[in-house]
Amino acid sequence: MTSLTLERIDLLHVSMQLLEPFVTSFGPQQQRDIVLIRVFADGVEGWGELVAAREPIYSEETAITATAMLRHHLLGKVLGRTVDDPRQVDRWWAGARGNPMAKAAVEMAVWDAWARASGQSLAHLLGGSATRAPAGVSIGIQDDTAALLDRITGFVEQGYARIKLKIAPGRDVAMVAAVREQFPDIPLTVDANSAYTLADADHLAQLDAFDLMMIEQPLAHDDIIDHATLAPRLQTPICLDESIRSAGDARRAHQLGACRIINCKPGRLGGYAASLALHDWCTAAGIPLWVGGMLESGVGRLHNIALASLPGYTLPGDISASDRYWAADIIDPPVRLAPDGTVAVPAAPGIGHAIDPQRLQSVLEHTETFVP
Ligand code: NPG
């Protein structure tokens, strides 16, 4: 296949309730306002998911701002154009700064369309070869430690390959100690979502007692330098999430010694072209990667699983099964966890599972259609 012309792009505004509120140091989230992207190109469709939250909690983008950017600035730069290589889409936006989640949603839908049109799985198109990927699960802050231990027990019984706990000041050292006491051997990580400052360095160093695989983004969402100051004060490896938005950020963080591990969320980086650049740089530098999650529906989840099949993704990702968050996912079949803690990387063309039309209809609020 040599080219695809982007004839139409739909934004499907979907509203989905998580099975339970997901509580982080930002506060609780239960309602997901998801915008699905459907591109039409030469008789094939491609699907993407806009991962911005309702509120500007994780980054400055929200479902509303990202949609406005697509409507007013970004879609016009791609509609009607002919793609000879899916890497081009990212370059067409070179003149528009920021807004990575808005860009990623469309760029990733084009990669899906390209994979379907060329009869290959998205994972294969991206350069992945793994047929299964280890899945971790992220557990929001619970009302009390007993409730947390209970949740962990359930996820460990299901077989998840690692457990990630959200921490925040007041819900950290004692809570992690209780978890480690009850579960001495589980692969365990913590995620602070920027809830601390350098003044907390000694406090955070107490976490070194619990054999954590990493502490994720302890300091400010846009910081690299203070993380480099914190890193030598901790034995626990620092993983950066929010503050790595490009391969260049990874290079700078590595040069300064700010992190030993990086989490890639393709939405945070602006799509696959930037995620592949990050992957290749980190692989060459020996920095382990894993795929993060943004409480995606099945569409975004399958994209993340495709990415997790690349060789640099050596740590379990936040790619939990559909039933972790949804009573009924919009993909058919849903993503399922195997007892060995892995999920299957689909081998069928594109993201590899169908969209369930009835289920989609039941959560769809409205559709906007854009043509050149
Ligand atoms: O499994 O999709 C998932 C969620 C994983 O913890 C998770 N995501 O900071 O990484 C994060 C956190 C998050 C979710 C942040 C949604 C912001 C919004």
Task: Report how far residue 29's alpha carbon sits from residue 79's, in angstroms, rounded to the nearest whole number.
Answer: 33
The number of the ligand 1 atom at minimal distance from the alpha carbon of 140 is: 6
128 in Cβ contact with 362 (< 8 Å) = no
- Name the residue at shortest CA distance from atom 17 of ligand 1: 58
Q: Tens digit of pLDDT for each residue in 39-88?
A: 999 999 999 999 999 999 999 999 999 999 999 999 999 999 999 999 99
How does residue 2 score in pLDDT terms, banded at 50, 70 and 90? confident
pLDDT for 321 equals 98
Q: Which pLDDT belongs to residue 226?
A: 98
Q: How far apart are CA 116 and CA 124, in angstroms?
A: 11
Return the percentage of the chain with pLDDT > 90, whole number.
97
As a whole number, mean pLDDT of residues 224-252 equals 98
- Minimal-distance CA residue to ligand 1 atom 16: 294
Closest ligand 1 atom to Cα of 292: 10
Ligand 1 geometric centre to CA of 241 (Å): 10
pLDDT in tens, 153-206: 999 999 999 999 999 999 999 999 999 999 999 999 999 999 999 999 999 999
| Region label for 88, one of left (φ > 0), alpha (ψ between -120 and 50) or beta (otherwise) | alpha
User: Which residues are paired to 190 by β-bridges?
Assistant: 165, 215
Query: pLDDT digits over 3-53, tens only?
Result: 999 999 999 999 999 999 998 878 888 999 999 999 999 999 999 999 999
Angle at alpha carbon of residue 299, lines to 294 and 303, rounded to 5°: 75
Given a cut of 80, is residue 346 above it in pLDDT?
Answer: yes
Residues contacting ligand 1 via CB (< 6 Å):
24, 53, 58, 138, 191, 193, 241, 292-296, 318, 320
Residue 360 in this model has a pLDDT that exceeds 90 = yes
Q: Does the active-site annotation cover 265?
A: yes
Alpha-carbon span 129 to 359, nearest angstrom = 31
Predicted pLDDT of residue 26: 81
Give CA 257 to chain center in angstroms.
24
Q: How would residue 343 be classed by pLDDT, with cut points 50, 70 and 90?
A: very high
Quote the pTM value: 0.97
b (16+ CB within 10 A) / e for 24-50: bbbeebeebbbbbbbbbbeebbbbbbb
Write down the pLDDT at residue 68. Answer: 98
Q: Is residue 1 over pLDDT 80?
A: no
Give the pLDDT score at 318: 98
Higher-pLDDT residue of 313 and 94 is 313
Q: Residue 332: pLDDT band by 50, 70, 90 thresholds?
A: very high
pLDDT at 24: 85
Res 244 pLDDT > 90: yes
Task: State the distance from the centre of ligand 1 to the C-alpha of 83, rounded, in angstroms.
Answer: 32
Residue 51 Cα to ligand 1 middle (Å): 10
